[in-house]
Amino acid sequence: MEQMRPLETDAIPVLRGTRADGGVGNASRFQVTLAQPIGCRGIGLHTGLPISLRLAPAPADSGITFSRSDLGGATVRARYDTVVDTRLSTVVGDDSGLRVATIEHLVAALSGCGIDNVRVTVDGPELPVLDGSSAEFCFLLSCAGRQVQPTPRRTIKVLRRIRVEDGDAFAELRPAPRSGLSLALSIDFAAAVIGRQNFAMKLSTDSFVRELASSRTFTQRHEIDALQAAGLARGGSLDNAIVVDGERVLNPAGLRHQHEFVRHKMLDAVGDLYLAGHPLQAGFIGHKSGHALNNRLLRALMADSSAWTLTGDGARSASARVAVEEAA
């Protein structure tokens, strides 16, 4: 499948059988993988190189893994404690030098669509950017379909407030009285066309697809030359990013949503927070937060065993304990 053209929000299919509360029919208590493999080919945002992507079913409790076919199948688990860079995207890797970059839009789609276990294979150092949002990843997941697995889905329930700050920016997790993840995010940019924006929603498959999935990554025109001089953003274009210049959006078709900028930042947060390893039962509040603060927040949460508990199987699992010990 060649790189797909951008999708309108109403054209994104919702996974069959999903409910507005994020559950998958009567099987919401159980883990979900893909029904069949699927793939596509696109351009890497930073390398500008063609990248092939393949998504395949994975066993229960395996989570999300990324494999590099160009490196002999070297594999890394997508988890908060395997994040090695957050400057321009979320990058996972290991001590051997394995790196897989720009994972957040796919991981956000997996979270929003309720997929627990998947094996992701790419033949380069980053994922294809596609249209700069999660819309086309949601399309792929819908085409692949779901397979419910006979293993209970576990949830990380936040028990007390955890907050990290960087100047006036912050990210925070709070206990939530009900299941699922609620998010409230605000941004503040000097560019007049962005300015101050805020958005809040309860995450479900329906709300993710309708409110967040098609919101694109963005940059300011004056940043592009510096990025490309540093060998980055070689694959960036008006087809896969919003470019702003002061009071103007340079994309001929304009914006897809009111407040598309803050919606995209929330999309990023959904992807970053799914790297906890299990869905969160929590309230997330962020101001000017990005990949770095989101990852710091998860590390702070998981380092404090009194701040969370693992629900769904009656007790914290040994694998969760190992994850905390490895991150410490």
* pLDDT tens-digit series, residues 113-153: 999 999 999 999 999 999 999 999 999 999 999 999 999 99
Q: Choose among 96, 49, 104: nearest CA to 75.
A: 96
245-274 pLDDT, tens digit per residue, is 989 999 999 999 999 999 999 999 999 999
21-57 pLDDT, tens digit per residue, is 334 333 369 999 999 999 999 999 988 999 999 999 9
CA–CA–CA angle 207, 59, 74 (5° rounding): 100
- What does the alpha-carbon distance between residue 109 and residue 68 come to, in Å, rounded to a whole number? 20
Question: Strand, coil or helix: what is 92?
Answer: strand
- What does the alpha-carbon distance between residue 58 and residue 71 come to, in Å, rounded to a whole number? 20
pLDDT in the model for residue 103? 98
CA atoms within 13 A on the CB side of 42: 26
Evaluate if residue 58 carries a pLDDT over 50: yes
Alpha helices, H only, the chain? 104-112, 135-144, 205-207, 221-229, 260-273, 291-303, 318-327
Q: Choose among 103, 101, 288, 132: nearest CA to 217.
A: 132
**Strand spans (E) along the chain:** 30-34, 38-43, 50-57, 64-68, 74-77, 83-85, 91-93, 99-100, 118-122, 146-152, 155-158, 162-166, 169-174, 181-188, 196-202, 218-220, 242-245, 248-249, 280-287, 308-311
CATH number for the domain whose boundaries are 9-327: 3.30.1700.10
Annotation says 291 is catalytic: yes
Q: Where are the domains of the chain?
A: 9-327
Catalytic residue among 46, 257, 259, 291: 291
267-315 pLDDT, tens digit per residue, is 999 999 999 999 999 999 999 999 999 999 999 999 999 999 999 864 4
pLDDT in the model for residue 313? 60
- What does the alpha-carbon distance between residue 210 and residue 204 come to, in Å, rounded to a whole number? 10
Q: Choose among 287, 209, 177: nearest CA to 14.
A: 209
Q: Are strands 181-188 and 280-287 parallel, antiparallel or unpaired?
A: parallel
* Length, in residues, of the chain: 328
pLDDT in the model for residue 19? 37
Q: Choose among 19, 30, 208: nearest CA to 107.
A: 208
Q: Is 264 annotated as a binding residue?
A: yes
Residue 95: other Cβ atoms inside 10 A: 6
Enter the pTM of the model. 0.88
Q: Is 259 annotated as a binding residue?
A: no
